[in-house]
Structure formats: structure tokens, C-alpha cells
Amino acid sequence: MADPAPQFGAVLPSLVGRPPGSRSRALAERLRSVESRNVTYLSEDFPVFWEEAKGANVRDVDGNVYVDFTAAFGVSFAGHGHPRIERALVEQSERLIHGMGDVHPPALKLELLERLSALAPWEETRTVLGSSGSEAIEAALKTAELSTGRPGIVAFEGGYHGLTLGSLAVTARPDFREPFRARVHRGVAFAPFPRTEVESEVALAEVQRLLSGGIPGGGAESQKAVGAVVIEPVQGRAGVRIPPPGFLAGLAELTRADGSLLIFDEIFTGLGRTGVIFEYEREGVLPDLVCLGKALGGGLPLSACLGSREVMDAWPESGGEALHTSTFLGHPLACATALAFLAVLEGEKLVARSLHLGERIVGRLREGLAPLAGVREVRGRGLLIGIELASEAGGPAAGLGARVAEAALRRGLLVLPAGGQGEVVELAPPAVTSDEQVDFGIGCLVEAIGEALNG
């Protein structure tokens, strides 16, 4: 018998017209008159409004079907609308939609915390839940300050940790920081994020200098001492930048010797995206704190800051008022979908699939893009992949990532730009993307990049 035809979720794109279609454009016009103009980028060629998504497919309001190589900011790692996650959400919504996270907690919060403890590297783990990645970062930075009594922070050039005022202080992008310069915590210094072994030595020397000397301009002496070093083990939004082997281990050695805490922001990389559960595992590094978000909630907003009991016990025991909490902490719907996601991750061996698919995509893209002079590098870890584009003069091809995203959209593929100057095309497909969809995506990217480079 012939294989059944693939269903929505595992199909190739079908476009009923050139996207964005008339309905997406009409919605964009309405959006323009109600949403703050800073939020959604609106142009002739962007965006399309989503109506439905399943697996690695998205359907827009005009009926165009796309293959999604973004997993919606890396969130839908198990695919959009995974049946087991959907079922967990529906069943939970019929029992308890909202609870009292830090007062009369939903029982599911406990179940999720136990599951996270089982994944974590420490003998005894303690966790603070949140809703967004930024919140998990804020919890980690507060923990480090409580634990060490030292408010200074070392972060890294290119690093992205969120945009709330606390997390913005460690996000490196000047365009995000500049308008709020007076409000962000000043005791933060940015060390270079290395890409080569030589750069690694320079970066470690700079971290060592900051750990011993404190943060320049960080205020009074007592305000300058460094209590935390925060890093994405692979920088996502900066353009999928991967440090050389040994760097993270070197960093861990420096922080351990200094008594400052090493925070791994695994909000993008964690839970399988890079072909391992946690990226820090690769080098056998033991972090002090780990932040998770994005994929964790299986599509619902959920984040977590995990640490060893010794570190996290810097927080006082609650006497009825938590020093750090929020209304939606331990939200039952998000706990239910997170537990379902973690079960799917294990049951469907998505981590191994991520590694395998990622290698195939990177290998095939390197081959397909080799003739194009404007492609500087294709790099990746698992299903977090970046294609870096160069200008004719050899510098970063500023803004070209967005042009590739538009050219890809017109062919039925969703991708995002990344990099400090938008010079990278970022791929973060769901781990359930089929081989056929992957092959389509690769062919489409070769064409779209060729078009953007020649246009």
C-alpha cells in the first residue's frame, strides 16, 4: 500500500498568491492604528498573519501554507500543536485554568519542579518559575547578588538576555540599551565573546581582569565587585555565534576561583535545540544557575531559573511575602504543557533528531551555498543554525538577513534575520520537521539567498 499523503503539519508549502496576501495586508493596516508602532514591523512585504499551525507548517489568513524554520522564536521545538501537548492543555483547562502560584499552589507546579530537578545537574536543585525568559534572567541576577553580596556583572558582547530593565542591563545591543541608558544597572561590563582559540584567551584574560579589578564606572568600590558572569553558551540572536572548545570550561574555572556565579542563559539553547539537553553538558561544565524559557512551556509562556540548593538558599524562607514572585507564577496551563513537552522530548527522542537534522541541514547548505561569494559561513549546533552573509567589501551584509527572510517567505519558507547588523539568517526549525520539508527548506534558502545577494 502506498504511504498515506502527508497531512497539514508535514506538508510542503502551497501558496495561493504572493504573500502577504490581501487579508494580511488589511490586518496590517488595522494593526497600525491600534498597536504601538514600535512593536510589529509593517511593510509591503511583511508580515503575514498566522491563523493555524501544526508540526512544521503554518497557515496564514490568506490560506498560504508555509514550512516554518523558526519554530516561532525557537519555542515550538516539538512542533506546533503537538497532539499530546494540545491534549494536556485542553484537559487542564477543564480542571483549573489559574491558581495561586505562591500561596495555594496548583499541584502541577510541584510536578513540574520535580521534573526540572531530575533534569538539572546538581544533587539538590531549587527553582524559581517565571513567565518570560527575561524574568528568569532577572531571578538569576537577583540570586547572584543575594548569594555573593556583589552587584557587579560580567556579560558578553553580542549577548541577548531580554529587554525588561533588569535583563536589558546584560543585553549588549547598543540600540536596545541607549534610549534607557539612565535606567539600566551600571555595574555591568561586557567582555568579548570569542569565536577562535586566540580570541578565547583574550576574552578569558578580560574576564579575569574584571573579576579582579571590578566593573569600571560601576559606582562606589562596594558596587563594583563582580557577583555574576552571565552568558549564552551559543549566542542566538547575535547570529548563532559558537565559542571555541574550552572557553566555557575556562570561564567556569575563573568564576569558581573568584567566588562569583556562572549563569548559563539556556533560554534559546536549552532542552534539545542544540542537540543536547543543555549546551553546557558538552564541556562538562557545572554552572551555578541555569535559565530556561522558550521551548520549556511547550508553547505557553513559562520560564525557570534553576540552581543548586546551596546557591538558591541565599533567598530567605518565605514568611508570607515572597521577595520575588508574580501573579502567574506556576500557571497550571503552562505547567501542564511543559510536562507534556518534556514527555514528548524524551518519548520521541527529539534531542537526537535535532542533532541529526542539524548536521544534515548544515552539510547540505554548505554544499549548496558554496558557489555564492557573499556567504561567509554556515554554522550550527543541532537545530540552531546561522548563515552569515558578507557585503562585497567583505564586511557584514547589514540588513541582508531580512531580505532573505522576505525572499524565503515568497517561496513558502519562514526564517528570521539575526546578528548585530541583521547579517545572518537564523534557522531554528521544529525537531519534527520531516526530511522532505528539510530538503525543501534547503533548496529554498539557496534560491532566496542567491536572490537577495544579487538583488
Residue closer to ligand PLP, measured from CB, 188 or 442: 188
**What are the residues binding ligand PLP (CB under 6 A)?**
132-134, 137, 160-162, 232, 236-237, 265, 267-268, 293
Q: Which residue is nearest to ligand PLP (CB)?
A: 133
Residue closer to ligand PLP, measured from CB, 24 or 303: 303
Least Å distance, CB 207 to ligand PLP, is 19
Least Å distance, CB 277 to ligand PLP, is 16
**What 3 state SS string does the chain have?**
CCCCCCCCCCCCCECCCCCCCHHHHHHHHHHHCCCCCCCCCCECCECCCEEEEEECEEEECCCCEEEECCHHHHCCCCCECCHHHHHHHHHHHHHCCCCCCCCCCCHHHHHHHHHHHHHCCCCCEEEEEECCHHHHHHHHHHHHHHHHCCCEEEEECCCCCCCCHHHHCCCCCHHHHHHHCCCCCCCEEEECCCCCHHHHHHHHHHHHHHHHHCCCCCCCHHHHCEEEEEECCCECCCCCECCCCCHHHHHHHHHHHHCCEEEEECCCCCCCCCCCCCHHHHHCCCCCEEEECHHHHECECCEEEEEEHHHHCCCCCCCCCCCCCCCCCCCHHHHHHHHHHHHHHHHCCHHHHHHHHHHHHHHHHHHHHCCCCCEEEEEEECCEEEEEEECCCCCECCCHHHHHHHHHHCCCEECEEECCCCCEEEECCCCCCCHHHHHHHHHHHHHHHHHHHHC
Least Å distance, CB 247 to ligand PLP, is 17
Residue closer to ligand PLP, measured from CB, 9 or 133: 133
Least Å distance, CB 211 to ligand PLP, is 23
Least Å distance, CB 443 to ligand PLP, is 28
Residue closer to ligand PLP, measured from CB, 145 or 265: 265
Least Å distance, CB 136 to ligand PLP, is 8
Residue closer to ligand PLP, measured from CB, 211 or 238: 238
Least Å distance, CB 384 to ligand PLP, is 10
Residue closer to ligand PLP, measured from CB, 170 or 355: 170
Residue closer to ligand PLP, measured from CB, 268 or 278: 268
